[in-house]
Structure 1
Amino acid sequence: MKYVCFALLMWLGINSLWAQDSTAVRRDTTIAPQTDASAADLLAGLSDSTEAKTELLPHKMIFTQRAFWGPKGLLRSMNVAPLTPEGRAHELKVRRTMLVAHQIGGFVTLAGFIAQGLIGAKLYNAKGQDYVDTKKWHERSAAFINVTYGTTLLLSLTAPPPVVGARKGFTSIKLHKYLAIVHLTGMVATNILAGMIEDNSSLKPYHRAAAYTTFGAYAASVLALTF
């Protein structure tokens, strides 16, 4: 069951990465309207029609966003988030908050990766009771990383959609996206191999390689949006 969950998480993440650039707060959220007047400008010149409401949303949305924020999404149907210029203005503020939390979660997860690397290096050379104690901390650290990593990903998956699509050309956001595909794949592989090591110790080198690859790609993806 654990492996199925990680595989699903990977599939969701890759779909989100290709559907949008949703992790750069400073790029796609700075246009968030601040007043009712500026909110109305989102659809200046358009009539109140289904087509006009559709124009409030980007053409490309991942299915999790469409399920909640699409024209016929759950939040629209329940009238929790009406699809209006004013409502979209509020959603962009919510999006900014969620993406700020996404970036903070990225740094927290990165710190967890560093701690896990140090513990893992000690575990490979530990013996006896030291091995038992270190293994417990290694498992706790892994659980912490899985929670923060998954939460960070979900913040991106469920954030309200931006106003416009991705910019053309190669950008740091796209670099972040490509690296994310690598570390998401590595994250799934690392967890799967971790569960198989108990029965097959010969997989340890592959587990270590997957973990280091994941850390390297993750660190680079975080730095790509920081500098």
Structure 2
Amino acid sequence: MSDDSTPRDTRAALIAAGLHQFGRDGFAASSTRALAARAGTNVASIAYHFGGKEALRLACAEEVLDRIAAVAGPPQEPAPMPAGQATARLAAMMRALAMFLTRAPGAADIVSFVLREMAEEGPALDLLYDRFFVHKHRELCALTAMATGRDPEDEDTRLLVFSILGQAIYFRLGQPLICRRMGWTGYDEAQARAIADRMVANLHAILQAAA
């Protein structure tokens, strides 16, 4: 990091380093020295900006919440709407999520961080679940119910929403295999849009079958 970097720059660099290191190596195996080195700063800056490694972990979770909410919108309780409008809302969120996961800088580190936190079941997972995931999932279930005529809290409706979200995650995790099979070198803009189109088409088929 350059000498003229601001405290905000240093804080952001440490969060980016935390998302990468915690996601790749896990919390316990990520040393403060490695985190600081990746951020291009000194070890003392972790305590200065966050108070310690555990607080940096929670700051990383907060960053994940902010990034995902910026893409999919903050959780809300949707007002009743016609089936077509609910389907359009779901399709727009699915398209935005697909483009984020395939093209956004840092998306791979965000997914790795969340997966690692799920495996370790640490305090960051509680924050992600309690502050965002459970509420967003309920919103998606409510929209799915409006689109299909189902009960929003029926067990199968909740599982259906998980299955819709799962395909988006797979295109991020499976990128090396997908690119080999498709003959791609990576996800460029056109390929990301093709993935988003496929995911939205799948969404429409799933909702139609579930109605």
TM over 0.5: no
Larger radius of gyration: 1
TM-score with structure 2 setting the length: 0.28
